[in-house]
Structure 1
Amino acid sequence: MRKIIHLDMDAFYASVEQRDNPSYRGKPLVVGGSPNQRGVVAAASYEARKFGIHSAMPSVVAMARCPELIFVRPRFDVYREISTSIHTIFKRYTDLVEGIALDEAYLDVTENKQNIPYASTIARHIKTAIFQETKLTATAGVSINKFLAKMASGQNKPNGLTVILPEGAIAFVEQLPIEKFHGIGSVTAAKMHSLGIHTGAELKERALAELTHHFGKAGHYYYKIARAEDDRSVEPNRVRKSIGAETSFAQDLSNVGQMLLELEQIASFVEQRLKQHETRGRTLTLKVKFSDYRQLTRSKTMLAPISELDMIFEIAKALFESIDLENRSIRLLGISLSNLDNAKQSQVIQLPLFKNGSTTF
């Protein structure tokens, strides 16, 4: 049985800006593009979140919700430097560290360098070291697999620590509202509600065949997490093959003009992520999911890699206009870039198998 920690920095980009500029502290702030430049929110301070502002929101919408909102351009070089320091702290305890983003990572501490028996103790040590060395806070979740650790870290933000013990895993999942599940977005949650599924317990009652009928391949994932099962390994050398973003709409879109506006905002967020990772891509893929959950993709490969908003949107728009909508409405749009120009081949380290037995947290 594994011991997994999920570490998530608290409002990372925004917290760095508030740390480095005292005049920003205690004020609603977002990191991202300005409203008059088709900007998108990359991160929001907790003061801004009180106004319902969140990442991936168009900056013009964020400004409308909070007119006194402070906009700060991202400093990805600074964020990367801090992230490197944080990962150095992780490596004091384990080499099995899977970075998800600059501010988020999974750690497998089943066998750790300091032979500490409790994963929760390691999480406390890491949180303390991060604050002492960076003056920033992090929230940790600890459990027996990646799904549960991720869910735990979302329970007590900011600066929290939540442990889901093996014997409490099923009960935790059963009481969880379905919209709180990692991997279930607002649109999928709404469909589950229409099927009478509101909690983990109700999701667990549904057969695999029923879930795959309604949700396709994702039904297998929903079936397993309803039982607190997740056999994914922590992959320290996972190679990033693509960068993208997608949006599920609370209400299906039927107006083409609105679809293109949404597509432009998604393109802006993709550009921001490409800058964050200092990369470009040659293959752009457009993803469209219709109201009946049928899905299609269209791709185009360029001679040279791209990363600029105008080019990303122009190509995505051309791909979109090649689709015969047939008066169908759309519930999801996505854009991704692959064939990244800095992608490196790397061998994935496989975790060793551990025998079943008592596990302390």
Structure 2
Amino acid sequence: MTPDLQCTNLTKKFGETTAVDNVSFSVPAGSFFSILGPSGCGKTTIMRMIAGFLEPSSGDIQIKGNSVLNVPPNKRHVNMVFQHLALFPMMNIADNIGYGLRRAGMHKKDIGFKVDEALERIGLPGIGHRRVDELSGGQKQRVAIARCMVLEPDVLLLDEPLGALDLKLREHMKVELKTLQAAFDTTFVYITHDQSEALVMSDNIAVMNAGRFEQVGSAQDLYYRPDTAFVAGFVGDSNRWSGKVVKQDGENTLVQTTSGLTLRGATQGRSLSQGDTIDAFVRPEAIRIAHNAEDLASFDNQISGTVTSILFNGAASRVMVRDTEGHEEVAVNLPQSGEFANLTKGAPVHIGWASDQANCFSAGAS
């Protein structure tokens, strides 16, 4: 089946600076695809090329199998939702949603029908007469999406649309956006620097760094099976150690960290040799904490230490543990059992994790 969006060897240069460097990807019909990366990595440049606001230096962009190079923005079957929603304050909600349809010359009766249908789909029936300033931030977001969706685009581009919302509303809108995407059955391409947004909403995610895609895959692939050190460090939280390979035996890697810890890790198929400089990553939730070392006998990596701080955040609370030699602080997710409810700073504890939970990458590899 032809994807709704196909970008092939997409490159954009501004003078001597390469903002997007030979990027290729496809987005199947009806899916939610996110481009995740830090500020300045090139993700907005990709979106502006898809929308037609920038022309690629080289490469091709196809929508529904047809190249849109040199096609002006208003002739592409693409719409875009920005961080600042740009709803017209002098118009009511219905007029905002129907604006593009009026510009396209649609009959007034048909516009009214499509606007009412869109309001139903976004869960705001009967508010077409209300003013923009009467809406909450989340409602404005839904109206901005409805204004785009009534035009029936093949692809909807969303440029960090939740960035201007407060934290609680952002959390709510992450779920709501995915619901809206399913309701309209339209292909969404979403860019963000917020990993939680991408992980929660997306069918597939491209992690971008310095103009290139580091990895494209599902949220589970990126989180549990990162291809590069950048992905391992950028997606989710991780403890990170730098060091050297002391011994390499197949997938098993014995590492001496620069701070003096010895740990066992896994290469997950990557080629490492004795003496190589590496970075190792372990998720806080992969580390078990115990009062007795005997409880951790099954783990390849064990450390005795002291609690240095407790970062309370309800179910996501975390403790920092410094090993008894004073080498490292390790972040550990705090179990929600009563056994650790009264854990205090300075308490002696033991932590452990399995070697296959320590992802080892050649240092300097992106």
Range class of TM-score, shorter chain:
under 0.3
TM-score normalized with structure 2 length:
0.25
Between Structure 1 and Structure 2, the one with more strand by share is 2
Larger Rg: 2
Between Structure 1 and Structure 2, the one with more helix by share is 1
TM-score normalized with structure 1 length:
0.25
